[in-house]
Structure 1
Amino acid sequence: MRALALLVGILPGMAVAAVQGEPSAPWPTLPGDQPRELVRECTGPATWNVTMAGNVDGPACRDVVGYAALRRFWQPNREVSIANLGETSIANPRLVVNDSRDWQTAADIAAEATRGWSRTADRARAVYEFQRRRRFHACTWDAEVHDAAKVFNVYGYTLCGNDATVLSDLWTFAGVPSRRGWPVGHVVSEALYDGGWHLLDGDEHCLFLLRDNETIASEADVVRDHDLIKRTHTYGILQPDNPLLDQFSASLYGHRGERPPRRHSGPSVHTMDWSLPPGASITWRWGHVGKQYTGGDTSVDKYGKDGDGDLLKGWGARAYALMCNAELEYQPDLGRAAGRAAIIEAVNLAAPDGQPSLRAAV
């Protein structure tokens, strides 16, 4: 009996842990829904434009962005796939939407956030507004979302410690000096511009004005005058007015000592560099199959209501519904040289170009 054996594989980075839950419900199919396909050949860097018609988009069919997870009700585009039908790998395929989301690195993210702004004060505020409108309050209790590229390209959530770290990193890439604050039970960052420090809290969606109602206060300012916080709506636009919650926020700030510069646990160094080999396709989609990353042991609820890295258990159905799973499909044509480049080890295998299938060598 003749026999052949081969091992084919892609070696991706390994996650610390994963949880398998229930998949999201499929999007309803509406009259007129149909897939669109675009096939192009390229021999170097290339860009293709896909135009979507209509007057309703995703942001028009969701809650406004606030502190907690929002709700999405409809998407005009369910998924986008890029398939490599050629003979060579495609380097760094990605989607850019309306000249936005070209986020290979943290530096790219900072560049988009500050596009058109030159003054340090404007760049600091632009980064803060950009960052707080593209995440919600949750975490997996590890350092996975301490990196800006991972937050905005992969996960979409941060807790205060992650959030302040990412905000500080983006300020650094934008040329804005920053430092870590000194609250109790909370983590924030301050930006330096116009000769002073200014507190901008991306997690709780807060900035506090001095008595002139124009200048953004520093952490030292709100320590001296808690009313600057108590008169401010805290925890974002989706949170109803709650004077007790505003007073709680004020109580976090009490450090009256020196404030030597200290950094967060960054910097953001991850990149979204990758290759799509021949025979592979990547699909970005709204929805998930129930597989989520977690940095902890989900069998032990040591963090109480916040769970131990499980979005559904720790942060609720809305957070879980915002999770999206991409799909990487790999079907190399092993009868061709480009496909056989994926073979890690082959035993007694013959597949000359032009042959429709593999066969044993002897």
Structure 2
Amino acid sequence: MKSIIPITLLSGLVLLLPSLASANEFTVKNVKNPHFSESDFPFFVSEKYPESASRINIFLQYYYFDKTLQEEDFASKSSSPFRTTDSYRRVFSFYEPIVTEKKNYIEVTISGDACGAYCEWGENTFLFDKYSGRPITLVDLLSPKGTKSLEIRLRSDNLNRVKKYIINKPDDNSDEYVMGEYYLYNDCYQNRFRDNYDKIDEDTNFHLSDNQLTITFGRCSNHASRALDEIGKFENTLSYEELKPYLSNDGIQYLSNQTHSLSNIQTPYRVFQGKIADKYPITVVNIKHGGWSYWYDKYQTPIELHKVDCVDATAQCFKEGRYDNMMQKWVYTAEWKMNQYNDNILGSFIRISDGKRMSVSIK
């Protein structure tokens, strides 16, 4: 039986701010696959904000599995997202998610193991706006000036953490491990200094808890050299009072216990829903590093959208298509041109085969 866990009863949850959490308006079902251990994945339900819950589910499922799923799909051995398509070998292991509901947002932390040639543990935290289901990132909470100032502070802190490992260069007769560690951190220091690492943008991983913010940046080592890496991921923690000068007024209100909607969500990642030709319901997603896809809701088959240059500087243009393995190239079937009007995105869909033009409306 699937467990239904009220968010306020999840063990180990903590509050970002001194104020108490709001009344519970979302429920998270911890859907599991009975055939696999450690196959926990969150599924959101909300009577008050059903569209938000749906968008959160679509975002998380597409982020991890490149498709959307029904609750029953998680329990099925044949269609389980926790296996490959050609065998029952596990490729994902997910541990019980941690979900915190606050006045204006929901924070979700999903951790587990991903396996390819090697298995490695990983963790991602997502912040979703309660009223729209849109993902919120640091760029939506910090002021432009605060973002730059915080980047400088974090970069300096992280460089200093690496610097102590390269102050003394080992001589040529040093132990192989010592030499490997030195060159790992020396390369890391040079790269971080030269290539402007530790930049705060929509892909910066962060976590809110215990009246503090923790920002996490990638480690110096790759998978093969991680045994040499004593630092690991760079975790930078600020108390709420330390964080406050970097926040915008909008961000300060949003993180408080007062009801507040962000006036301008800059994060481009989003789930859109609408229609083609006013009669074909579609879902459009921009979730992974600028990668767009859409599907007809009737068929649920994702179609890739590739962003292309647009003659109209105010518009966004895309080509949709599929990769032909025989021809070893992309075959494009339609072109999109979209303009944003407040929260609505309107445009046209042109079928390449016959030039037929249809309207597109999403929000």
**TM-score, length-scaled by structure 1:** 0.20
Task: Give the structure, 1 or 2, with the largest relative contact order (CA under 8 Å, sep 6 or more).
Answer: 1
**TM-score, length-scaled by structure 2:** 0.20
Larger CA Rg, structure 1 vs 2: 1
